[in-house]
């Protein structure tokens, strides 16, 4: 796994999203097929983009951040900067579309 990927939990979530460096949080679960499909794509993006951190938050083990941010389906990717949601992508998307959606933060 890339060093730009961090595992988040209920206790580390708020600190992780509060920094000035953009962090793309992947709200996922082990039973979610599309979540498993998008995981290697996110690893590639993390390895290729030094200025972006990707945070993985398992919603089954850490439900509070997902509820607070109105995550209704997974995978949901939310890009935070300075504690503020800047971009939301719902559903699995191909790498080129994710890069397009995130281009202003890369």
- The confidence score (pLDDT) of residue 1 equals 63
- Orientation of helix 33-48 relative to helix 95-102, angle to 10°: 60
Return per-residue pLDDT of the chain as tens, 106 residues: 668 999 999 999 999 999 999 999 999 999 999 999 999 999 999 999 999 999 999 999 999 999 999 999 999 999 999 999 999 999 999 999 999 999 999 9
Tell me the C-alpha distance between 80 and 39, whole Å.
19
- Please report the domains of the chain, with CATH numbers, ordered by start residue: 5-105 (3.40.30.10)
- The confidence score (pLDDT) of residue 18 equals 97
Residues with catalytic annotation? 32, 35
Tell me the C-alpha distance between 24 and 46, whole Å.
10
- The confidence score (pLDDT) of residue 26 equals 98
């Amino acid at each position: 796994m890339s060093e730009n990927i961090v595992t988040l939990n209920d206790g580390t979530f708020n600190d992780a999203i509060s920094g000035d460096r953009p962090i793309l949080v992947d709200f996922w679960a082990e039973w979610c097929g599309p979540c498993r499909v998008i995981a290697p794509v996110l690893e590639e993006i993390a390895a290729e983009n030094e200025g972006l951190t990707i945070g993985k938050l398992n919603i089954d083990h850490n439900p509070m951040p997902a509820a607070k941010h109105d995550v209704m389906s997974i995978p949901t990717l939310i890009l935070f900067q300075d504690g503020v949601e800047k971009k939301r992508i719902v559903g699995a998307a191909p790498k080129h579309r994710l890069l397009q959606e995130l281009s202003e933060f890369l």
